[in-house]
Amino acid sequence: MVLSLHMPGSFKSLIELGDFYMGTKWFTPNKEISKTLYTTAGLVVFILFLAVWSILSYGGLVNPVFLPTPTAVLATAADLLIHGDLLSNIGISFTRVLAGFLAAAIIGIPLGILMGSLKIMEGAFEPIIGFIRYMPASAFIPLLILWIGLGEPEKMSVIFLGTFFQLTLMIMDVTKNVQNELIEVSYTLGAKKFQVYTKVILPASLPGIVDTLRITFGWAWTYLVVAEIVGASSGLGYMIMQASRFLQPDKIIVGIITIGILGLLTDMIFKGIYRASFSWMRKDGF
C-alpha cells in the first residue's frame, strides 16, 4: 500500500528528471530535432546492438558454435574476401538478382502503365496478377526445376516470380495516381493519345516508378537466398547453406551482412538517381 502510494510520485520525478536531461521536445509528437541528434540516435542503437552481441559472445554466455564473436566474423570476412570466393559469389548473386529483376521491370513497367491508364488492360490483367502474387515464389521452385532444370534461368526465374507481380501492380497504382486534369489539359493543348503517354503519364509517374524499382529491388535480394538454397553450387545463398552444413556461423553471418550491405547500396543508388532526376519535386530546386 505504501509502495503503491509512493510509486506515482517517484515515477513523476523520473519523467521530470528525463525532461531535465533530454529536453521535453524529444518526446513531443512530430517535433523536429536537430540533425546531429537524429544521427546520434541511430548510431547509439547500432552500438547497443553491437554491445549486446559482444557481451553475449565475448562474455562466453553463448556457445561460439552458435554465436561467434564480432572479431571472428570480421576475420572470416577478411579471409573470405582475400583467400576465399566471397567476391565471385557476390558477382554471381548480383548477376542473378539483376537479371531476374531487370526482366521483371522490362515487362512490368510497360504492363503496369497500361493497366493504370487503360481500364480494359486493368480488367484483363489485374485479377490474374492479383491472384498469382499471393502464391509464394519459393513454392514454384520444384515446378521450375522440372520445367527448366537447375541452371541460371531457374535462379533468375525465382527472382522474377518474386518481384514481377508486385512490381506490376505497384506501377499500375503509380500510373493511376497521375492527376486526371493533367491528362485533360494536355488534350486541350493538342496532345494525341500516344503523346499523352510520352508527354504526361510517363514523366508524371517517373518518380513513382523509380521508387517502386527501389523497393522491389530490395525484395529481389531477399528472394536470392531462396533461389540459391535449392540446387545451387555458387552464390551467397549457397555459401550460407554450405556454412550451415559445416557449422560455420561466422560464415553465415558474413553472408547475411554482405547481402544486407548490397541491398543497402542498391537502395542508395536508386535514392541518388531519384534525387538527381527529380529536382522539380523540391522547392529549393536542388
Partner 1 sequence: MAANAPKLEIKDVGKVFKTKKGETTALEKTSFTISDGEFVTILGPSGCGKSTVLRIVAGLEEATSGQVLLDGLEINGPGPDRGMVFQSYTLFPWLTVKENIVFGLKLKGLSQKERDDVAGHYLQLIGLEQFGGHYPIQLSGGMKQRVAIARALANDPKILLMDEPFGALDAQTRNIMQEVLLKAWEESKKTILFITHDVDESIFLADSVYLMTARPGRLKKKVPISLERPREFSVKGTPEFAKYKEELLYLIREESLKSV
Contacting residues toward partner 1, per CB under 8 A: 179, 181-182, 184-191, 195, 199-200, 203-204, 206, 278-283, 285
CA distance 215 to 226: 18
CB closer to partner 1 out of 77 and 200 = 200
55 vs 189, which CB is nearer to partner 1? 189
Q: Shortest approach of partner 1 to residue 190 CB, angstroms? A: 3
Give the Cβ contact number of residue 174 at 10 Å.
23
Looking at beta carbons only, is 145 or 182 nearer to partner 1? 182
Contacts of 220 (CB under 8 A, 6+ apart): 97, 100, 101, 104, 159, 162, 163
- What are the φ and ψ backbone dihedral angles of 179, each rounded to 5 degrees? -55, 125
| Complex with partner 1: residue 75 or 182, whichever CB lies closer | 182
CB of 191 to partner 1, least distance (A): 6
Cα(198)–Cα(45) distance, integer angstroms: 46
The Cα 218–Cα 229 span in angstroms is 18
Q: How is residue 178 annotated by DSSP?
A: S
Smallest distance from partner 1 to CB 205, Å? 11
**Min dist. Cβ of residue 194 to partner 1 (A):** 11
Q: Based on CB atoms, which residue is closest to partner 1, 201 or 227?
A: 201
- Nearer to partner 1 by Cβ, of 25 and 275: the residue is 275
The total number of residues shown for the chain amounts to 286
Q: Pick the closer one to partner 1 by CB: 131 or 187.
A: 187
Alpha helices in the chain (DSSP H): 2-22, 35-58, 70-82, 86-117, 119-132, 141-148, 152-176, 180-188, 193-195, 202-229, 236-245, 249-277
**Distance of closest approach, residue 271 Cβ to partner 1, in angstroms:** 18
Q: How far, in Å, CA of 241 to CA of 2, rounded?
A: 58
103, 106, 144, 158 from 226: Cα distances, Å: 18, 22, 13, 8
Q: How far is the CB of 187 from partner 1 (least distance, A)?
A: 4
Please report how close the Cβ of residue 196 comes to partner 1 at its closest, in angstroms: 11
